[in-house]
Structure 1
Amino acid sequence: MVIIMWILGLSIVAVLVIYVFHWIIILTDPKFRNRSSLPPGSMGFPFIGETFQFMIPSYSLDIHPFITKRIQRFGPIFRTSLFYQPIVISTDREFNNYLIQQEGKLVELWAGPVSNMFQQFGESEIFFGNIHKHIRSITLNHIGPERIREKLIPLFEEMILNTFHQWSTQTSIDVKQSITKMNFQFFAKFFFGYDIENLPRNTERISEELFTNFTEGLKTIPLNIPGTNYHKCLEEWKKAIKIVKNILEARRNSPEKYRGDILDQAINDLEKNKVMNDDQIVFVILGIWFASSASISSIIQLIFKFLSDHPCVIEELRGEHEDILRSRDKSSSSLTWKEYKSMKFTQQVLNETLRFSTLLPGLLRIALKDIHFDEYVIPANWIILISTPSLHMNSEIYKDPLTFNPGRWKELDSLTVTKNFKPFGGGLAQCPGAELTRAFIATFLHVLVTKYRWTKIKGGKVIRNPILGFKDEFHIKIWENRE
């Protein structure tokens, strides 16, 4: 009992010391000397700030209550502290569009928890400056519109057809698990030649849990302690880094193994201009792999939910895609770029799903210098979260915003969409994989509605914490359409 009291007493003293030093640091920091100029808000508890409140689950498609409560209290722009970082959250449309236009001048991309995680391996600089521009160039060369037009759509279709055939032989599939596995395997092979299905036995493998653990790691306090999701995530990444390094070395030592993929281009560029070193190449490959696979997986999961809940949308989709089949000279031909670009209603369904879906709770930027807006000053080096859910759920732009309604996109003009729809970011930092995502999902839907039927078995309730996902397992039964 005495030992327990001693431990309790020491813990209280430690918390008090931390609290005092925390406020000493704050009060002596020049950023806080003129606190009246900062946006209103609360910095929460020492170090952890308001992170726990930010992560409280909400079981709604609506904006997370953390945001709505602070808008009501402080207005559309407010300050807080999340994951050890002072941060300004903006739901102000005018300010958000201004920030996006000032990319590279007042703000630049900040990778948030991803950057913090990569700092564990000393590689956070790949998100900034010339390296980031080089990564964007490499990515567009391999997954930009030209490459999609020339090669990728038939490749997507072939893989998706094989996947659906496998799914149709099962009693039911777990939507999240099955779609994550599909993208995990396909994009690993596509980006760096990692053919998971055909690896020799007893070969060390990158686990499919990498994506799950990584996503969960982004939603937790970054404490590298055994047993935490963050620690599991780091351990999975260490294994993945080792495996991709081995693949890189094998390619370099055996040029005949070159495949013409992103890894090959990164190796060639390293030999020519030394923009990146080996470690940075590995992180780039893993980052592109994760970003493409995880974003597409989360969107397709939501599409299954929304279509299951709205059979009339399925019928309109099926009509559009059957029209494509009827207009072909040969019924056995593959989907083409022209056909993909003709899918108006499919793009409306995708836009409406993207309006709800976010892999991150917004666009993260870091202030390069003090930013003056109205009566506020956001200090240099502060993080700014442009809240895209707040933008996408704005009832002034989207009538009945919590209702899944693809038809709304027929009425929205291009200027309104440009200013108020940011699923892939905006400005110079817009995601280079935007067209890849659209083409892949359009191809997925083409196969789904023309060749298969499905029904929901269980689950499908959403949770936002603050990233939108599923509260429980979501199972569906898929079978081949033989009509």
Structure 2
Amino acid sequence: MLTIGLFLVGLLLTYYMYWINKWRNPKCNGILPPGSMGFPLIGETLQLLTTSYSLDLHPFIKKRVQRYGPIFRSNVAGRPIVVSTDPEFNHYILGQEERLVEIWYLDTFSKLFLSESRINSAGYIHKYIRSFFLSNFGSENLKEQLLPQIEDMINKTLRSWSNQPSVDVKYFASVAVCDFTAKIFFSYDAEKLPEKLSETFAKFIEGLISFPLNIPGTAYHQCLQDHRKAMSILKKIIVERRNTVEKRGADVLDRCLNDMEKEKFLTDDFICMLMFGGLFASSESISSITTLMFKFLSAHPEVVQELKAEHVKILKNKKGSDPSSITWEQYKSMTFTHQVINETLRLGNVVPGLLRKAIKDFQFKGYTIPANWTIMMVTSACQINPDVYKDPLVFNPWRWKDIGSAIVSKNFTPFGKGTRQCAGAEFSKVTLSVFLHVLVTKYSWTMIKEAEVRRDPILGFGDGIQIKLVEN
């Protein structure tokens, strides 16, 4: 019996060592990028989720770049991954979509947003989604319809903020943008409905980038609960709209429902996920950058002064009977304002990187990227590259006066690049520009509570940045 027991223990140890060796040295028909696969099953997930209090690259990425170089391998949540801060590799990958790579999301994202399989199943679905957002949030619609609505929303929002002892910028900005976007999508009126959709979205992000462990008490479990609540509200709105006998065509949801007759992939669930993704993307990105701008502006009064000078000049040059309304030409003339926004976006890096999945084995710079491996392009690394931006972690809007368009196109991609570039990029920039216009011409503020910037790995602000807004 002792001999048999020792034999079984030896067999188990042998299998364990074989399994560990196989985990650490994945099969590859070539040379893998250098790196470590971390612990079995969980890989290096915990290191990636470690909180960092800096605008610099997340330590998970920075330490490995220093050790292995700009392209390295790892394992996140049980999935093998190649991480790249190499601009040449990233540019190459972005040009190989549907040939060597396809879009991919973390399991958390794919369960909560439009599924990977639906997005990649046909190119025309992606084209429809992109056209959907561009037609409603692109330059033409902004110029023709949305610009005055955005200004009105911001005026009401800041007036409301000034009537409160203090406001948590991230939370209140998220609520305001979510309510506004929902109004465009399906004529949502937050004041008339008992269920506050925007409040659910404001809490949703807290558990989005977390280890996908669905156990009560975990951040991911709460994230799923908030997701279900938001989806329930959206589905109810869609069903009610479908059952109305009135002629449809008043808002975005009506147009989607009308398109169902010719686009067979459009279902209630698909439209619901489409709305959910749009609400999340707009409210999260704009609220994060708005919060970071307050942090920067509070620390740099000289920037506020130049912003005021630019916008006071715009007010003086206004013509017509409605001096409060901003025109498209005036928005385009906000040179320094755009520099402030660009500098905030450059340092903001709301998401850690762009994700793709290799369709088949391919080689680059002597390395083989195996099929089905995930690729994370850390495009934000270019935005804090000291060879491109002097003192890259310093907030300096004036630097943009001397940066050429060629450098910008290669080293500034806050909204992605290529066919996957964010269709709401111009909407975000317009909203931020008008926000600054109203803010510096009508209000002043005091920082009540200043939190550290936090990355885990999505941009956050600790316990929140709170201000007291005062109307001039």
Alignment TM-score > 0.5, same fold: yes
Q: Is the 8 A contact 2:101 2:358 kept in 1?
A: yes
Over 3 Å counting, the alpha-carbon distance change for 1:64 and 1:35 in structure 2 is farther
Cα drift, residue 267 of structure 1: 1.1
> Structure 2: how far apart are the matches of 1:170 and 1:257?
41
Query: What is the number of residues matched between the two proteins?
Result: 459
Partner of 1:229: 219
> Structure 1: how far apart are the matches of 2:361 and 2:97?
14
Could you list the per-position Cα deviations for residues 332-380 of structure 1 after superposition, in whole angstroms to 9, with x for gaps in the alignment?
A: 3411111111111111111100011133201111122222101101112
Q: How does 1:123-272 map to 2 (within 5 A)?
A: 123-128=115-120, 129=122, 130-199=124-193, 203-206=194-197, 208-213=199-204, 215-256=205-246, 258=248, 260-272=250-262
> Structure 1: how far apart are the matches of 2:18 and 2:258?
50
Partner of 1:315: 305
Partner of 2:6: none
Cα drift, residue 257 of structure 1: 6.8
18, 33, 42: which is aligned to 2:36?
A: 42
User: Residue 357 of structure 1 aligns to which amino acid in structure 2?
Assistant: G
Could you list the per-position Cα deviations for residues 73-101 of structure 1 after superposition, in whole angstroms to 9, with x for gaps in the alignment?
A: 11110010112221110011111111122
Over 3 Å counting, the alpha-carbon distance change for 1:34 and 1:177 in structure 2 is closer
Over 3 Å counting, the alpha-carbon distance change for 1:22 and 1:457 in structure 2 is farther
- Bigger drift between 435-444 and 321-330 goes to 321-330
TM-score (norm 1): 0.90
Over 3 Å counting, the alpha-carbon distance change for 1:17 and 1:166 in structure 2 is farther
Name the SS for the 1:184 alignment partner: helix
> Structure 1: how far apart are the matches of 2:65 and 2:363?
20
Over 3 Å counting, the alpha-carbon distance change for 1:378 and 1:427 in structure 2 is same
Partner of 2:279: 289
Partner of 2:5: none
Cα drift, residue 20 of structure 1: 6.0
Could you list the per-position Cα deviations for residues 256-313 of structure 1 after superposition, in whole angstroms to 9, with x for gaps in the alignment?
A: 2745332222211112221222211111110111111111111111011111110101
Over 3 Å counting, the alpha-carbon distance change for 1:28 and 1:399 in structure 2 is closer
Partner of 1:75: 69
> Structure 1: how far apart are the matches of 2:391 and 2:340?
16
> Structure 1: how far apart are the matches of 2:298 and 2:14?
50
Q: Is the 8 A contact 2:103 2:357 kept in 1?
A: yes
> Structure 2: how far apart are the matches of 1:46 and 1:28?
7
Q: Percent identity among equivalent residues?
A: 50
Over 3 Å counting, the alpha-carbon distance change for 1:386 and 1:278 in structure 2 is same
User: Residue 177 of structure 1 aligns to which amino acid in structure 2?
Assistant: Y
Could you list the per-position Cα deviations for residues 419-478 of structure 1 after superposition, in whole angstroms to 9, with x for gaps in the alignment?
A: 011100001110100111101111111110111111212213211222222123211111
Q: Is the 8 A contact 1:188 1:194 kept in 2?
A: yes
Name the SS for the 1:198 alignment partner: coil
Partner of 1:376: 367
Q: Kindly indicate whether residue 95 of structure 2 is the aligned counterpart of residue 105 of structure 1.
A: no
Q: Is the 8 A contact 1:269 1:275 kept in 2?
A: no
391, 401, 412: which is aligned to 1:400?
A: 391
355, 361, 371: which is aligned to 2:346?
A: 355
> Structure 2: how far apart are the matches of 1:17 and 1:165?
69
- Bigger drift between 75-84 and 189-198 goes to 189-198
Q: Is the 8 A contact 1:111 1:127 kept in 2?
A: no
> Structure 2: how far apart are the matches of 1:150 and 1:17?
70
> Structure 2: how far apart are the matches of 1:197 and 1:223?
35
Q: Is the 8 A contact 2:249 2:255 kept in 1?
A: no
Cα drift, residue 205 of structure 1: 4.4
Could you list the per-position Cα deviations for residues 150-194 of structure 1 after superposition, in whole angstroms to 9, with x for gaps in the alignment?
A: 011100000110111111111221112211221222222222222
- Bigger drift between 299-308 and 241-250 goes to 241-250
Cα drift, residue 17 of structure 1: 8.6
User: Residue 367 of structure 1 aligns to which amino acid in structure 2?
Assistant: A
Cα drift, residue 224 of structure 1: 1.2
Over 3 Å counting, the alpha-carbon distance change for 1:293 and 1:136 in structure 2 is same
- The alignment yields a C-alpha RMSD, in angstroms, of 2.4
Name the SS for the 1:37 alignment partner: coil
Name the SS for the 1:273 alignment partner: coil
Q: Unpaired segments of 5 or more residues in structure 2?
A: 1-10
Name the SS for the 2:51 alignment partner: coil
Name the SS for the 2:350 alignment partner: coil
Q: Unpaired segments of 5 or more residues in structure 1?
A: 1-15
User: Residue 102 of structure 1 aligns to which amino acid in structure 2?
Assistant: Q
